[in-house]
Amino acid sequence: MANNRHLAVRHASNIRTWTNSKLPMPDWIRQHLAGGIEPNGTFMLLTEIGRARVHPGNVIIEQCGTVWVRAIEEVPDFIASLERAPKPTITNIGPGKARQFGTSRRTGSKTKAGGPTTINGRPNYQSPIGSQPTIEWIHLPRLSIDGAYQRSTDNESSRRLINSIAVRFDWRLCAPLVVSKRGDDTLTIIDGQHRWMAASRRDDIPQLPCCVFRYDSTEEEARMFILANRARKQMNRLDDYFAALAAADEDALEIQQLVMDAGLRVSRNTSSTAWQPGEIAFTAAIAISIRKFGAAVTSAVLTNMAVAFPNQKLSHGGAIFGGLVRIMSRPEPNFDPDRLVSVLQTRTPDEWGTCLSKLKGGDARAMAFRDAVMDAYNYQKPTEEA
């Protein structure tokens, strides 16, 4: 530890340390200050047990928003004790997963879901996760968004929302934006991009209030984006997928790989009118297919779609995918996948869609497509065998 006494150090288990020296003080310490820095280099720090004076050479230790002050020789043993203690984790990231983030699949507790345990009749809450943010007014040009996980605003509903906020901007409804301050001092919006884009259209709103956090990585930012948005309202399937992809969720990464291997790509837009040839939007259906029938069947279906409809807009893509999954997951005796592709190529996706008119619901449309394709498949069979 002595070799690092002039450095801010990050340890395992979300533990950070900083030694009081002549170097600039990190932001995560400033929010715990109780007063200014004295000429002799000492200052007061708000800790979990009250105020503590920090002398030059003392080490400040932080974990999950709680800080401690220790002499440098006490630090190794103290950090070891923190690392041995159980830590809360964030789990359950990915498209189509309904459970609330922050909970595990199983729990042995018999207490009411989401409720605290009690000690002597008083609630015993877990320590808050993460460090306290700073509250700042930030000029609009300094803010940005990361398209890897942020919602797409290239759609009619987002445009209407941004315009309505801009036209009738109301400070009473403008909650602080949630912003990540990255290592290069880039300020990235996690929550509040519609408010930011609306304010940017006006000339009389130069800055917005922001809760500024520091996260360990872009993946952690994406996890926080999912937490914030799923807790407030249902995300559409594509926003969910791309946020999970940015968070390196293994299910989303598998979907991406299967789609790319087939020569397709996932659209950023839920509106079929905006899709380009080779784009698909049925990520939730792909996730279900992988769980029920495996990656091999799912990959074969996606590949057949790409081969059968090259350079074509995949309208009715969800129904086509669902119908082909039903065919290829339970193939008939002597089933010929090459014949299936030939049958698919006899019509465009729009022409196949005529058998789906007036049908609603994913299952009904998928079954109708399956029946239409198999009728054509069986009709060709006698001619080719002759």
Mean pLDDT of 22-49: 82
Residue 110: in which H helix or E strand, if any? Answer: none
Half-sphere exposure in the Cβ direction for 139 (13 Å, CA): 3
Residue 49 forms part of a structural domain:
yes
pLDDT of residue 11: 62
- Per-residue pLDDT for 4 more than 50? no
pLDDT of residue 153: 87
Mean pLDDT of 188-210: 94
Sequence-ordered list of residues with C-beta below 8 angstroms from that of 69, at least 6 positions apart, any chain? 45, 47, 52, 53, 54, 58, 59, 60, 61
171: Cα separation from own chain's centroid = 28
- Per-residue pLDDT for 14 more than 80? no
Say yes or no: 166 and 266 in one domain.
no
Residue 110 forms part of a structural domain:
no
Say yes or no: 277 and 220 in one domain.
no
pLDDT of residue 2: 38
Residue 264 forms part of a structural domain:
yes
Say yes or no: 293 and 378 in one domain.
yes
pLDDT of residue 124: 74
The model's confidence at residue 225, banded by pLDDT at 50, 70 and 90, is confident
The count of domains in the chain is 3
pLDDT of residue 88: 46
Say yes or no: 309 and 365 in one domain.
yes
Say yes or no: 273 and 325 in one domain.
yes
314: Cα separation from own chain's centroid = 26
Half-sphere exposure in the Cβ direction for 223 (13 Å, CA): 18
Say yes or no: 27 and 61 in one domain.
yes
Mean pLDDT of 179-207: 93
pTM of this prediction?
0.51
Highest mean pLDDT range out of 76-90, 288-302, 371-385? Answer: 288-302
The model's confidence at residue 198, banded by pLDDT at 50, 70 and 90, is very high
Task: Among 210, 237, 264, give the residue marking a domain's end.
Answer: 237
pLDDT of residue 25: 86
From CA 355, how far away is CA 366, in angstroms rounded? Answer: 10
- Per-residue pLDDT for 307 more than 80? yes
Highest mean pLDDT range out of 54-68, 114-128, 251-265? Answer: 251-265
Helices (H), the chain: 27-30, 75-84, 156-167, 193-200, 218-232, 237-246, 250-261, 283-293, 295-308, 317-329, 337-344, 349-352, 362-385
Residue 101 forms part of a structural domain:
no
Say yes or no: 159 and 227 in one domain.
yes
Which CATH number is 200's domain given? 3.90.1530.10
Say yes or no: 381 and 259 in one domain.
yes
Q: Could you give the 3-state DSSP secondary structure of residue 181? A: strand
Say yes or no: 217 and 337 in one domain.
no
Say yes or no: 141 and 232 in one domain.
yes
How many percent of the chain have pLDDT more than 90? 35
- Per-residue pLDDT for 194 more than 60? yes
User: Structural domain of residue 152, as residue ranges?
Assistant: 134-237
Residue 315 forms part of a structural domain:
yes
Mean pLDDT of 24-30: 84
Placement of tokens 């799923």 in the chain: 230
Residue 126 CB neighbour total at 10 angstroms: 11
DSSP letter, residue 33: B
The one-letter amino acid at 376? A
Residue 99 forms part of a structural domain:
no
Residue 138 forms part of a structural domain:
yes
Highest mean pLDDT range out of 18-27, 181-190, 264-273? Answer: 181-190
pLDDT 10s digits, 241-297: 988 888 888 999 999 999 999 999 999 888 778 889 999 999 999 999 999 999 999
Mean pLDDT of 2-19: 63
How many percent of the chain have pLDDT more than 70? 83
C-alpha dihedral sign at 291, 293, 296, 299: negative
Residue 92 forms part of a structural domain:
no
Q: Locate 188 and state its tokens.
A: 């990235």
Q: Locate 99 and state its tokens.
A: 């459970």
Task: Among 203, 237, 271, give the residue marking a domain's end.
Answer: 237
Q: Which residue has the higher pLDDT, 25 or 255?
A: 255
The model's confidence at residue 10, banded by pLDDT at 50, 70 and 90, is low
pLDDT 10s digits, 85-119: 655 444 444 554 543 333 334 444 444 445 566 66
